[in-house]
């Protein structure tokens, strides 16, 4: 059974007229959860250069962090959907927070064992919890009010998610990257016993922050359990839903192209964020320490937060398809600029990409499930699974960076943004395959 992310209102919410949300308190609780998973996700951008230094990893090896984290979305999306279907939205959110908390606790033994695979295992559990939260919280926010404002509520929640991604790099730079990291040549001068002590101290630098996050996650789980969230259910017809296969859903071109759009967008966004600390610390780009570079990563994610507020207003006046294509084109040009330049131009052009990333995920998602009626939940499942792009694209770019250099390897995100331009211009258009959409409305 696939999980659902419907944008259809319940009968009660459909009668709510012009109200933005039927339950402001519940909306406030949910935005806090969006903040937390954004914070946890972006903390990987700080974890990557730290683990690369202490374990002496190549770019491809350290990108296993994102491969493991976002791979969990692909592997655990369906089990998470079944879990949420069995527990309901509220208990599903509680379960997601608890699982993420267990993953955060896993950093304690991973650091004690000083094993890179143990860190990856803890990250997988943490990402599994976030996957459950994605499955439960996204549709719940969509159902917290009238259908007309569902996209706006999701954009607001995503803005709070971006606030978490903005603050995480600063938090990580202070608590994780603040210790001195020795260069390989300096480390080689130490005696074997001293090297082991040094590496153990560096690995343990992540214990405190992640244990603190585990405590926060468990407290949030208790709070949500005690809070009286309204009981909401899907509006799609269960019988019709069961009759449609994934293959049938993918016969709608705007769904198939939308799945690829989410794959390439998340891949580009995560890849750029993952390499940014190492990229900005290069002598011919930013010529700064990794701790200083981490602060600029906050600008990248902060731009996405600001852009979501601006984009929400722009989409009320302009076509979402045209805005998506325009923002994709701007980002392609920014990536090309950073590849062909050095110094401040290269540095600020890559940071500016965050601003134009802003509307892409919610817009591609909304266009990908447009006019699908009872097929909406299965299309949503496919779109969430496509987040696996955040696992594959960074890893491939890591392999390229090891062979042709980090700056030249950015041609991969460039190709991703060019695909998004295509999706906005053509791929998102609803073709005339079915005579009418599944919700009963005739297609334009």
Domain ranges, ordered by start, for the chain:
11-427
Mean pLDDT by 10 residues, the chain (444 residues): 38 44 77 90 88 86 93 88 84 94 94 89 95 83 70 74 85 73 66 74 79 94 85 50 73 93 96 94 91 88 85 80 95 98 96 92 85 76 88 95 96 98 92 50 41
**For 146, phi and psi rounded to 5 degrees?**
-65, 155
- Contact between 89 and 232 under an 8 Å Cβ cutoff? The reply is yes
Cα 351 to Cα 334: distance, rounded to the nearest angstrom: 9
- For residue 10, the model assigns a pLDDT of 39
Q: Considering the chain, what percentage of its residues have pLDDT values greater than 70?
A: 84
Runs of H (alpha helix) within 251-289? 253-280
> Would you say how long the chain is, in residues?
444
Q: pLDDT value at position 69?
A: 94
What contacts 402, CB < 8 A, 6 or more positions away? 58, 59, 60
Residue 323: its pLDDT value, please? 92
pLDDT of residue 339: 97
Q: What is the pLDDT of residues 123-132, one digit of tens each?
A: 999 999 999 9
Look up the pTM and report it: 0.78
Q: Is 254 helix (H, G, I), strand (E, B) or coil?
A: helix
CB 66 within 8 A of CB 127: no
Short-list 234, 221, 238, CA closest to 90: 221
> Class of the 11-427 domain?
mainly alpha
């Amino acid at each position: 059974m696939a999980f659902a992310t419907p944008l259809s209102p319940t009968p009660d919410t459909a009668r709510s007229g012009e109200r933005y949300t039927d339950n402001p308190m519940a909306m406030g609780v949910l935005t806090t959860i969006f903040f937390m998973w954004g914070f946890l996700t972006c903390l990987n951008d700080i974890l990557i250069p730290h683990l690369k230094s202490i374990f002496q990893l190549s770019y491809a090896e350290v990108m296993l962090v994102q491969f493991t984290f976002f791979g969990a979305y692909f592997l655990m999306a369906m089990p998470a959907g079944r879990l949420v279907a069995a527990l309901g939205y509220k208990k599903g959110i509680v379960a997601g927070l608890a699982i993420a908390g267990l993953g955060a606790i896993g950093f304690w033994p991973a650091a004690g064992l000083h094993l890179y695979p143990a860190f990856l295992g803890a990250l997988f559990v943490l990402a599994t919890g976030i996957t459950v939260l994605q499955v439960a919280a996204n549709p719940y926010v969509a159902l917290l009010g009238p259908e007309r404002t569902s996209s706006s509520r999701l954009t607001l929640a995503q803005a709070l998610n971006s606030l978490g991604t903005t603050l995480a790099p600063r938090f990580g730079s202070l608590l994780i990257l603040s210790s001195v990291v020795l260069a390989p040549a300096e480390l080689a001068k130490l005696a074997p016993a001293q090297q082991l002590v040094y590496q153990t101290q560096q690995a343990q630098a992540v214990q405190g922050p992640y244990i603190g996050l585990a405590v926060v996650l468990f407290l949030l789980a208790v709070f949500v359990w005690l809070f009286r969230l309204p009981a909401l259910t899907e509006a799609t017809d269960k019988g019709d839903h069961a009759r449609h296969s994934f293959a049938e859903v993918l016969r709608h071109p705007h769904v198939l192209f939308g799945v690829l759009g989410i794959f390439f967008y998340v891949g580009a966004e995560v890849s750029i964020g993952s390499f940014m600390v190492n990229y900005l610390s290069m002598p011919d780009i930013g010529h700064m320490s990794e701790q200083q570079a981490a602060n600029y990563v906050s600008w990248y994610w902060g731009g996405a937060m600001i852009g979501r507020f601006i984009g929400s207003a722009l989409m009320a006046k302009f076509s979402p398809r045209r805005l998506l294509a325009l923002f994709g084109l701007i980002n392609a040009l920014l990536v090309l600029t950073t590849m062909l330049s050095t110094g401040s131009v290269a540095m600020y052009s890559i940071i500016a990409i965050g601003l134009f990333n802003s509307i892409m995920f919610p817009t591609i998602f909304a266009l990908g499930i447009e006019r699908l009626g009872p097929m909406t939940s299965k299309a949503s499942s496919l779109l969430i699974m496509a987040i696996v792009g955040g696992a594959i694209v960074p890893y491939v770019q890591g392999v390229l960076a090891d062979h042709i250099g980090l700056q030249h390897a950015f041609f991969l995100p460039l190709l991703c943004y060019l695909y998004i331009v295509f999706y906005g211009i053509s791929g998102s258009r609803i073709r005339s395959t079915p005579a009418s959409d599944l919700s009963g409305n005739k297609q334009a």
